[in-house]
Chain A
Amino acid sequence: MKKLILSLFVFVFGYQLYGQTYNTFEPSKTQFMLRGYGHTGFEYMDSNDEAESKFLGLTYAPIFLYKHSDRLMFEAELEFKLEGNELEIGLEYADVMYVLNKNITVRAGKFLLPFGTFMERLHPAWINRLPNAPLGYGHDGIAPSSGIGVELRGAFDLGGPRLNYSIYSTNGPRLNDGSEEPEEAGILQFENFEDNNLAKAYGGRIGILPFSDSSAELGFSAYSTSGTGEEDSQYEDVGAFLFALDFSYVKPISPLKGIVDIKAQYNNSNVDTATFIEVHEDGDAEEYSFDNQSNSFYAQLSYRPTMVESDFMKKLEFVGRYSDFNAPEGAEWEEASVQYAFGLNYWLSWRSVIKLSYQTTETEGGHGADGITNTDGLFIHWAIGF
């Protein structure tokens, strides 16, 4: 019996070993790949003498790539995040893309919007040089991050300089009319999965890389819709026009013995003036309106001393970022914020980084708050892409 079991073990193990060593499997045209990123860390925040600290649960964002052929691909990204003692699951994007020819690709589904470059290209934790997004992005931000619709995009080689473009149509944003959240009346909500009206949003981005070494890129984005409110409501025809200007410059500079990376983006949001209702504590209702214009800006400079001799120094990166955000005067969410962020990063590999950052933010107003709030934060994050 013992010999039989031993013989069976040798046969099974030997067969597996032979199969793994001399397999003749050819790669198929159809490919499925799991990529993504995750990050975790520690945060300490001090806001007007109220301090809080916490370890962050890992945020996990798997990206599923299904390459059907050399032209057809499906991509999707999920995000699992621990927030307020609950697991939040989000669908960042899920779209199908087809390369029509060398200059045109069509995408359809839920895709990241090329409104500037931050949300489409730079926001993943292993790419973003700081632990969080600049002011004006994310929840209550003015820059749209994704949309459901169809898009044409591509690039042209102009014999040195290059031009890339994107034109899309999506469901468009939904105007918060204040009926459920009076303190957010007038905010555009871009997570508009079930279109609330017939008006669609149209937008696009044109990027120009003037130098043959791709070191610089200038971009202009626009996003427009003729209606954001609920169908058959007084807000149905409240239109919106948003635009963004972005700039990028990445270049190894020998006298500085390293790579300089500059990123900047300006966002502007202009929504038609509408009348909202404010209900006071005594039950009286009062109509009010305001000039619904918001803007935000960020500029970031980072430097990696990649040409120095020390292996340790080569893995360091120094980052500084300025960002501001201005929400409309007269709105319940009126706000003027300025943030300075400084960071020191240590790159374990090209896709894994430990970030140490200090940020100080001065906020005037903001969601019913009065006066000025100063918030200082210390962040230690570890991000990994895969």
Chain B
Amino acid sequence: MKSIHKITVTVASILVVLITIVACTSTKEVYTPVLEKEVADSDQEFKIEKSGAQLWGEVCNRCHIAPSPSDYNDTDWETISLHMRVRANLTEKESKKIEEFLKSAN
């Protein structure tokens, strides 16, 4: 068991370092709100960004039934979004787009 524990601690330490490096080098990509059906041009390929409504249906349903936007006001949705971002380990983009949709539809 001691060797397994050492391996676990070593792997965890390496992961912490790697994640920190990757995360810190990618912080320049500050998230900006994406318009619905925004089209990104990348290497002559077109990629359609998912809308907040689409993400709301896909992401929330992973654990529970997607909430009704009208059940909370804008400030409540901001609090809930931050809570759910951490609780469900969502990406920043997912939580921001879902929050924008919920605030626009309530």
- Chain A positions within 8 Å of B, measured between CB atoms, are 27, 31, 33, 35, 65, 67, 70, 73, 75, 97, 99-105, 107, 114, 120-122, 126-127, 152-157, 162, 164-167, 202-204, 207, 212-215, 217, 222, 224-226, 239-241, 248, 250, 259, 270-272, 347, 349-351, 385
Interchain CB contact under 8 A, A65 and B83 = yes
Interchain CB contact under 8 A, B19 and A224 = no
Interchain CB contact under 8 A, A240 and B26 = no
Q: For the complex, what is the distance from the CA of A366 to the CA of B21, rounded to whole Å?
A: 48
Task: List B2-25 residues whose CB lies under 8 Å from chain A.
Answer: 2, 4-5, 8-9, 12, 15-16, 19-20, 22-24
A65-B83, A215-B58 are known contacts. Are A27 and B66 too (CB-CB below 8 A)? no
Task: List B68-106 residues whose CB lies under 8 Å from chain A.
Answer: 68, 74-76, 78-80, 82-83, 85-94
What is the minimal beta-carbon distance from A258 to any residue of chain B, in angstroms?
A: 12
Interface residues on chain B, size class: 35 or more
Summed over the interface, the residue pairs from A and B with CB atoms below 8 Å come to a total of 140
Taking a contact as CB atoms closer than 8 A, the residue among A67, A153, A207 that contacts B78 in the complex is: A67
Q: For the complex, what is the distance from the CA of A67 to the CA of B74, rounded to whole Å?
A: 14
Q: What secondary structure prevails in chain B residues at the interface with A?
A: helix
Q: Is B31 an interface residue (CB 8 A)?
A: yes
Taking a contact as CB atoms closer than 8 A, the residue among A73, A166, A224 that contacts B5 in the complex is: A224
Q: For the complex, what is the distance from the CA of A69 to the CA of B65, rounded to whole Å?
A: 28
- Chain B positions within 8 Å of A, measured between CB atoms, are 1-2, 4-5, 8-9, 12, 15-16, 19-20, 22-24, 26-27, 29, 31, 50, 55, 58-59, 61-68, 74-76, 78-80, 82-83, 85-94
A224-B4, A241-B8 are known contacts. Are A157 and B79 too (CB-CB below 8 A)? no
Q: What are 21 A-B pairs with beta-carbon distances under 8 A?
A: A27-B75, A31-B79, A33-B80, A67-B78, A67-B82, A102-B31, A103-B23, A103-B26, A104-B23, A152-B19, A153-B89, A154-B23, A155-B91, A155-B94, A164-B89, A167-B12, A167-B15, A167-B16, A204-B15, A214-B59, A241-B5
Interchain CB contact under 8 A, A157 and B86 = no
What is the minimal beta-carbon distance from A257 to any residue of chain B, in angstroms?
A: 16
Chain A contacts for B87, CB-based, 8 A? 120-121
Interchain CB contact under 8 A, B65 and A347 = yes
Taking a contact as CB atoms closer than 8 A, the residue among A121, A203, A212 that contacts B88 in the complex is: A121
Nearest B-chain residue to A272, judged by Cβ:
B1
